Amino acid sequence: MIAQIFKKKATLLLIFLSINFVQAQWTKQSAGTDASFRSIHALSKKVVWAGGSKGTVLRTINGGEKWQVIHVKDAEGLDFRDIYGVSDKIAYAMSAGDADKGAAKIFKTIDGGETWKIVLHLTEKGIFFDSMDFWNEKEGILIGDPIDDKPFILRTLDGGLTWNRIDKARLPAVLVGEASFASSGTCIATKPNGKAWLNTQSRVFFTPDKGETWQVYQTPFKQGQTSGIFGLHFWNEKQGIAVGGDYKNDKEKADNVAITEDAGKTWKFLAAAQPDGLKESGWMLPNKNLLVVGTSGTGVMDKSGVWKAIDNESFHAISCFKDACWAIGAKGNLAKWREF
């Protein structure tokens, strides 16, 4: 159980782990662009997609040895805040922004990014996409800012050809001012059996059946206009983390990582991740260390529950396939995780 995983060990073990921490670091890779990125998706140790500003998409098929810079046609003014890769050829890119200004769109490629088709374009005032994820290559889910006092959740069951809003009657009401942050592409976590968790600043909405029924759970994060949960990650159907902070005070010391052991029903803060400040995305590595990133830097928590600050690099998003991880941020800041 996770409580045992994070139980403090003997001093000798902590010293040994600290030595290992020093030997873990990011290795910079060349993005080939100065666009800013808030979304990345590792499909394997070779294939990774990333989405960013100026209608820019990155793609690698060799583990980041070389990244292809793709400028999506007719998307020059869009910011791809989330991306989902199905294969080395197929991917979805979601733009975040005001729908009535033409910024609420999803593009799809089936030829490795050579051409893109708009599969969703909404124009209703008030719509703003925040994050998306998929259960499989055909079935996916998207959350946007609330509309009519209910979460705005869309679902596709046919590979993105059509998207329909989840019936508002099935959903709990939102709180005043409640919404999600389009910050890291990780405000939704899915599992192949139909489960999905979606976060707002302070709560987690859960469906066990691809959006047919819903429950909502409170977390210890406080809802704020610029603060709260920025991303989720579940490594199995019971255990997961929520990471966050305040993007206007992104170096401020505060609780920034919470954990659940019961599929999101209850949450508790872990010791604050180091270095202090905002954490936007996180992952559980195969060795059971937690890796978290944000604008304040990278932190790793070992199996004993001790945090180690790795650097002060500013990253917005992280994605891993087993022990191969990539992080990405502003101005093309891109790196691959390496443990010696």
**H or E stretch including 22?**
helix 11-22
In angstroms, what is the C-alpha Rg of the chain?
Answer: 19
Contacts of 139 (CB under 8 A, 6+ apart): 155, 156, 157, 210
Residue 177 confidence (pLDDT): 96
CB atoms within 10 A of CB 119: 17
Mean pLDDT score of the chain: 93
| pLDDT tens-place string over residues 188-225 | 999 999 999 999 999 999 999 999 999 999 999 999 99
Residue spans of the domains in the chain: they are 2-339
Residue 340 confidence (pLDDT): 57
Residue 303 confidence (pLDDT): 83
**2-339 maps to which CATH number?**
2.130.10.10
Residue 69 confidence (pLDDT): 98
By C-alpha distance, which of 138, 97, 139, 140 is closest to 121?
97
Residue ranges in the chain whose pLDDT is less than 50: 1-22
Q: How far is CA 20 from CA 17, 100, 207, in A?
A: 5, 51, 38
